[in-house]
Amino acid sequence: MGALQSPGCYGEYGMNPWIAIGALALVGVLIPVGMMSVSALLRPSVPEDSKRATYESGEVPTGGTRIRFNIQYYMVALLFTIFDIETVLIFPWTVIYGSALEGGVALGPVLVPMLVFITVLVAGLAWAWHNGAVKWAKSARSESQVQAKR
C-alpha cells in the first residue's frame, strides 16, 4: 500500500465509492437527455394553429384566458401545504418519541423542540386567522340570499 492510501479508503474491490455515485449521476442525466433527443429526432413535425389553441376538454374555448381568481384559493392552498408539511414532520417525531423515552432520554430534551415547533405553527395560524386569511370572502349573491332570509 502506498503512503497516501489507507486500507479502509476504498471499497471491497479496491474502487473508490465516489466513482459509483458519479456513474449513477451520469446515467441519471444521460437517460432523460437521450430519451428527449431520440424523441425530438423521431417524432413527426406537423405545425398547426390548432395545436397552439387552449384545450378545454373538447369544448370550444370561450372568453379570454386571463381571468381573475379569488386570492382565497391561493391562501387555502398555502395554509394546506404548511399544515400538511407539519404533519409530515410530526409523524416521524411521534414514532421516535416513544423509543427515545424508553432509551433513557429525559422528557424535556425530547418534548421541548416539538412543542416549540407546534407553538410557532399555532401562532402562524392565529396570525392568519386574525388577518382574515382563513375567512372565505362572501360573494354578492350569497350576501343577498342572507338578506332575503332575514
Residues 54/65, Cβ–Cβ less than 8 Å: yes
Residue 21 CA, chain-centre distance (Å), reads 26
pLDDT of residue 32: 97
Q: Are residues 34 and 88 in the same domain?
A: no
The more confidently predicted of residues 134 and 81 is 81
The more confidently predicted of residues 92 and 41 is 41
Residue 3 domain-assigned (yes or no): no
Q: Are residues 75 and 35 in the same domain?
A: no
pLDDT of residue 139: 65
Residue 1 domain-assigned (yes or no): no
Q: Are residues 76 and 26 in the same domain?
A: no
Residue 38 domain-assigned (yes or no): yes
Q: What is the DSSP string of 2-23?
A: -SS--TTSS-TTS--HHHHHHH
Q: Are residues 27 and 77 in the same domain?
A: no
Domain membership of residue 95 as a residue range = 71-137
What is the sign, positive or negative, of the torsion defined by CA atoms of 135, 140, 143, 145?
negative
For 3-18, how does the pLDDT look when each residue is reduced to its tens digit (9 = 90+)? 455 555 555 666 788 8
Looking at residue 45, the DSSP 8-state letter turns out to be -
Residue 124 domain-assigned (yes or no): yes
Closest CA to 72 of 3, 143, 137: 137
For 21-74, how does the pLDDT look when each residue is reduced to its tens digit (9 = 90+)? 999 999 999 999 999 999 999 988 887 877 777 676 777 767 776 777 777 888
Percent of the chain at pLDDT > 90 equals: 17
Residue 117 domain-assigned (yes or no): yes
Residue 60 domain-assigned (yes or no): no
Q: Are residues 80 and 39 in the same domain?
A: no
Give the count of domains, the chain. Answer: 2
Residue 96 domain-assigned (yes or no): yes
Looking at residue 139, the DSSP 8-state letter turns out to be P
Residue 61 domain-assigned (yes or no): no
